[in-house]
Chain A
Amino acid sequence: DTGVSQDPRHKITKRGQNVTFRCDPISEHNRLYWYRQTLGQGPEFLTYFQNEAQLEKSRLLSDRFSAERPKGSFSTLEIQRTEQGDSAMYLCASSSSTGKGQPQHFGDGTRLSIL
């Protein structure tokens, strides 16, 4: 079990550029979640996959954001035409849907800074 892996750890880009983040969940986990966390706040839910199906999207996920999980394994989160308000830590988590109360295991996040 290598845990949830996110890449890159840090991304600095100019406003208006597109960015893409990758998340590799724990291999046997079929659920994958994306969250956004700003300084001093708890994570906010963005979207959720079960296998390759994107089952929920938060209202926080504007049309500039898109997430995919094409083969039910790794996932990507793309932000188009970045804005300064997109600066945040983007966390990925995974869990198993079998059994009750399965914990979400978090990656160490991608910290995005928009100049």
Chain B
Amino acid sequence: KNQVEQSPQSLIILEGKNCTLQCNYTVSPFSNLRWYKQDTGRGPVSLTIMTFSENTKSNGRYTATLDADTKQSSLHITASQLSDSASYICVVSAANNAGNMLTFGGGTRLMVKP
């Protein structure tokens, strides 16, 4: 069964600090991995996408890494801001082009405090 596990479930950090969120997956056959940011009461918004051959991708203060051998990914947030408070969801796409191709993690709820 395809699964995506994220840790920690929740995290509180002070504004300006860095943090790293983790994602482990068992999805086969693997196509790509995305990190989404979901603000409270809003839909998820894509931050980064990585395919099998990519091991790092940056989007501003967000840097995602992918180790396809160990099936692990991380999202590093640098110099956190209050607006980074949200849930961060790791989503792995299977290469079956089916409607249910996406497997979602349960998310990490990040709170940035002043």
Interface residues of A (CB under 8 A from B): 4, 31, 33, 40-45, 47-48, 55-56, 58, 91, 93, 100-101, 103-109, 111
Contact = CB atoms under 8 A, between A and B. Distances in A.
Contacts, number: 59
Contacts of A43: 44, 89, 104
Interface string B84-104: 000001010100001110101
Given A42-B107, A103-B34, 5 more contacts: A40-B107, A48-B99, A48-B100, A58-B100, A106-B44
- Of B41, B91, B100, the most chain A CB neighbours within 10 A belong to B100
Interface string B50-84: 01000000000000000000000000000000000
Q: Size range of the interface on B? A: 20 to 34
Given A106-B45, A107-B43, A42 B105 contact: yes
B32 A101 contact: yes
9 contacts: A42-B106, A43-B89, A45-B99, A56-B100, A100-B31, A101-B32, A106-B44, A108-B41, A109-B41
